[in-house]
Amino acid sequence: MEQNYDALRKEFPVLQRKTYLNSGSYCALANEVREAFDAYMEDRLLVGANWDVWVMKNESVRNLTASLLRALPDEIAVTASVSAGLNSLASALQFTGTRNKVVVSDFEFPTNAQIWHAQEPRGARVVHVPRAADGYIPAQAFENLIDEQTQLVAITHVCFRNGAKLDIPGIVRLARAKGAKVLLDCYQSVGSLDIDVKALDVDFAVGGMLKYLLGTAGIGFLYAKASCVQSLVPTNSGWFAQSNIGAMDITANRPSASARRFEAGTPPVVNCYAAEAGLKMLLKIGAAGIEKRNYALTRRCMQRLEEIGWPSITPREDERRGATVAVPSRDAARLAAELMKLDIVTSHRDDNVRASFHFYNNEDDVEAFVASMKALRGSFGPG
């Protein structure tokens, strides 16, 4: 069904005041998500401790996340953050045998490298795949580093620094050939691109709700393929990771048979309300249509930047980019601040200003951004 994106824009009040191009940092707030926060407050005022409802909210987030990723609910852990999910997974892995290598790329968000480096005292050997001369990391660059000693290839889907998207199918094929498992960090892609974890054939995937999933901070997910779950017992645990949450058993650790074993303590209750509302909205719109729209918006933005003589560093090919356009600047922090004065909300990483698009953006947003960049080019263009 064709979506009326102009109508959907009205559900995000900030768009009436700002050109909001910062979904790669924190999404615009939808009316439905704000109402979900209000619903939590109403439950607190009327009932107080409403545990039956809260647990059901947690399960709703699990089910909705599974639908979005084309996974099974039992393959989803609802976590407090990506870091929490990764630490739980890392605690279940052993690095004392011959398969002690973890391969990461130089496109990673700090969390997805730091946590694996933190396993080095346990025997992990972390190696980085560097960028090529053109700034991209092709699948072939992984070939010589993924070997029979590799236990895990832990890679980002879309780089937070420059918007570049890795060739996940190509990297997965290389990992499979050597018997290694693959972890996908899809925080910068899930919700903006159409992701099918079964089609990608990854073993694990992590992400959070505060960016393109329209929710809030303090809640994320870990996908663990069903065939991987039983062989992995995290030492990072908690009562919501147990097979019977209500047993209150203090005599042993009895992990859930599902991916819930990667959870920990009390779920992020209020955040579940917001995440549920955001996920429902996304699923109603449809990930395929959102991906198509984001590619069209980023493509137009990159073309218009070329026309003003200030090209982005983000790959032009659809298959090599996500929903972010990164533009180099000799003072990216000040450029982002000047854009904010013009009511254009962006972010900056390294020496780049990032314009992150979502379905609620339109061509007028592109033109407002490009016009402002043209006006500021003399002061902030690339060095």
pLDDT digits (tens, 9 = 90+) for 329-366: 999 999 999 999 999 999 999 999 999 999 999 999 99
Which ranges in the chain are annotated with CATH 3.90.1150.10? Answer: 5-29+286-380
Amino acid 383: pLDDT: 74
- Whether 369 shows a pLDDT value over 60: the answer reads yes
Q: How far is CA 61 from CA 54, 271, 274, in A?
A: 11, 10, 10
- Shortest CA distance to 300 belongs to which of 348, 364, 351? 364
Mean pLDDT for 27-36 is 98
Amino acid 2: pLDDT: 66
- Rounded CA separation 116/107 (Å): 14
Mean pLDDT, rounded, of the chain: 97
Amino acid 1: pLDDT: 56
Architecture of domain 34-283: 3-Layer(aba) Sandwich (3.40)
Which residues, including other chains, have CB under 8 Å from residue 331's CB and lie 6 or more apart? Answer: 380
The pTM for the full model equals 0.96
The dihedral region occupied by 350, where left means phi > 0, alpha psi between -120 and 50, and beta the remainder, is left
Mean pLDDT for 319-323 is 97
- Whether 291 shows a pLDDT value over 70: the answer reads yes
- Whether 41 shows a pLDDT value over 90: the answer reads yes
Which residues, including other chains, have CB under 8 Å from residue 299's CB and lie 6 or more apart? Answer: 316, 318
- Whether 97 shows a pLDDT value over 70: the answer reads yes
Q: How far is CA 215 from CA 48, 208, 351, in A?
A: 23, 9, 28
- Rounded CA separation 91/219 (Å): 20
pLDDT digits (tens, 9 = 90+) for 195-250: 999 999 999 999 999 999 999 999 999 999 999 999 999 999 999 999 999 999 99
Residue 113 binned pLDDT confidence (cut-offs 50, 70, 90): very high
- Whether 284 shows a pLDDT value over 60: the answer reads yes
Domain 5-29+286-380 falls in which CATH fold? Aspartate Aminotransferase, domain 1 (3.90.1150)
Q: What is the DSSP letter of 27?
A: P
User: H/E element holding 168?
Assistant: helix 168-177
Amino acid 289: pLDDT: 97
Which ranges in the chain are annotated with CATH 3.40.640.10? Answer: 34-283
Amino acid 51: pLDDT: 87
Mean pLDDT for 296-325 is 97
Mean pLDDT for 145-172 is 98
